[in-house]
Structure 1
Amino acid sequence: MRIVVAGATGTIGRRIGEELRRRGHEVVPLSRGLGVDVSTGAGLDTAMAGADAVVDALNIETLSGRRAAKFFTTCARQLTAAAQKVGVSRIVCVSIAGAANPQVHRLFGYYRGKAAQERAYADADVDTTIVLSTQWFELMDDVVRRASLGPVTVLPTMRMAPLTAAGAAEFVVDEIEDSRAGDRCIAVKGPEEMTTLEVVRRILDARGEMSGRRPKVLRELPYLGRATANGGLIPEEATVDPTTLEEWLRQDPPR
């Protein structure tokens, strides 16, 4: 198949592209450097012509709910409009398990943006699968970076069932290859439940540092709300990726 991947250079988009190529599919990455701007629609029709499906793995670095919602909804509408125009029949959007829950995203603007993105695709006239993934081990370095001030790291209390980004990417590609899929929302999670602090401590024990930091004080507080702290990010029904944190640490050596 010919698959268009928006966000092909990001943490999950890059791995989706790699997995698609490994399975013999043609990948069309979308980027401004290649003359395509998803947010404005420039170049989209040409890039998407002849594609069998589109993957929305776009991301934006912001904590602003307004900015995140504008970005994600604008891109969703542009991709949907282009898909309708050139005859692409399927879109697969990568989102976050629990982000659409108002109690979860109440204090986290980025999650409100993802919730808006899901609503935009729910209203679209193109068959769309929303893939709800739990947190990826690979993102924990960024969490530590954002939560650190000097030698002190105060993490948000988040109960999660994390998995590898590669495992999430394989799940997305499985969905792309499922010709029976239509409008639906499906979830994937890791095999273990733990808090942010537990994940970070285990990675630090194995590697000694995260994002160039070796915290002397490591704590967690529920500053993203009780729903997030108490498991609101863990889907009730989900496919379970089998790779544990310990197995991932063995596969992904210290950098």
Structure 2
Amino acid sequence: MKIVVAGATGTLGKHVADAVRTAGHEAVAISRASGSDLVTGSGLTETLRGADAVIDASATSSTSARKSVAFFTTVTRNLLAAEREAGVPHHVAISIIGAARINANYYAGKAAQEEILRSYSGGWSMLRTSQFHEFVRQILTAGKVGPVQVVPKMLSQPVAAREVAGELVTLATGRPQGLVPDFAGPRRELMADLVRRYLATTGVSRPVLQVPLPGAFGRGMRDGTLLPEPGTRAGRQTFGAWLADQAG
């Protein structure tokens, strides 16, 4: 099968492209270097011709609701339009457990993406997952204030991006299923604890200050909205095991 990967250079996309190849399929990355652009839509149709499925692993680094909505709606609509024109039968997307209920800041973009797909008449599958283990790195980058590491008060059940990639490839090689059962990590964690463990493992001595963020965005982070329901399918790799791999 020929599977096109949007966002193939990102945290998840790299794992997706690897998983496609490991499964014995052809992985084609959408990139400006190859003449296709997710935001403008330029060159997408030609890149998608002959593809059996598209996996959208694209993301934005912005936490602004306006910018996040603009990114995810633009990219999703451009991909779906190009897929329809190129005759691609299956669009595979990823969202975040609880994002549509929070519908604020970054999560507003995922909520908008979900809404577009739900009204799409073509073949699609969408998997909602919990935050990745790798999310702790984003927290570290965004929250360093002088000598202090600021961390939002957040409950999470982090999952390995590599395992999520495998789930997406399995979906892409099958028939469109619409919204599929959620997928989360094996253990519930407090984000501040994960940050402390990451810093300790990487040899960084820095005090961690846990702060409740305001508004619906912060409330959803700390009240369990982002946690999976009991009985949700769970990955195998714990944060500790992932951390050990990074240290190795």
TM-score, length-scaled by structure 1: 0.91
Task: Give the corresponding residue for 2:141.
Answer: 145
- Give me the CA root mean square deviation: 1.5
Q: Which runs of 5+ in 1 are unaligned?
A: none
List structure 1 runs of 4+ shifted beyond 6 angstroms.
none
Identical aligned residues as a percent:
35
Taking the aligned partners of 2:122 and 2:146, their CA distance within structure 1 comes to 48
1:249 aligns with 2:240: no
* Number of aligned residue pairs: 244
Task: Give the corresponding residue for 1:200.
Answer: 195
* Equivalent residue runs for 1:83-232 within 5 Å: 83-101=83-101, 104-106=102-104, 109-179=105-175, 181-209=176-204, 214-215=205-206, 217-223=207-213, 224-232=217-225
User: Conserved in 2, the CA contact under 8 Å of 1:157 and 1:228?
Assistant: yes
Deviation readout 1:40-90 (Å, 9 max, x if unpaired): 221111110111000111111212211111111011111111111121111
Deviation readout 1:115-140 (Å, 9 max, x if unpaired): 11111111112222111121111121
* Equivalent residue runs for 1:18-57 within 5 Å: 18-57=18-57
Taking the aligned partners of 1:148 and 1:121, their CA distance within structure 2 comes to 36
Taking the aligned partners of 1:75 and 1:145, their CA distance within structure 2 comes to 25
Q: Greater CA deviation, 31-40 or 220-229?
A: 220-229
Taking the aligned partners of 1:227 and 1:21, their CA distance within structure 2 comes to 37
Amino acid paired to 1:198: D
In the TM superposition, residue 252 of structure 1 has moved relative to its aligned partner by 2.1
In the TM superposition, residue 6 of structure 1 has moved relative to its aligned partner by 0.7
SS in 2 for 1:186: coil
SS in 1 for 2:63: coil
In the TM superposition, residue 219 of structure 1 has moved relative to its aligned partner by 1.7
SS in 1 for 2:41: coil
SS in 2 for 1:153: strand
Q: Which runs of 5+ in 2 are unaligned?
A: none
Amino acid paired to 1:25: H
In the TM superposition, residue 227 of structure 1 has moved relative to its aligned partner by 2.7
TM-score, length-scaled by structure 2: 0.93
User: Conserved in 2, the CA contact under 8 Å of 1:83 and 1:126?
Assistant: no
SS in 2 for 1:114: helix
In the TM superposition, residue 183 of structure 1 has moved relative to its aligned partner by 1.6
Taking the aligned partners of 1:243 and 1:87, their CA distance within structure 2 comes to 37
Taking the aligned partners of 2:88 and 2:189, their CA distance within structure 1 comes to 40
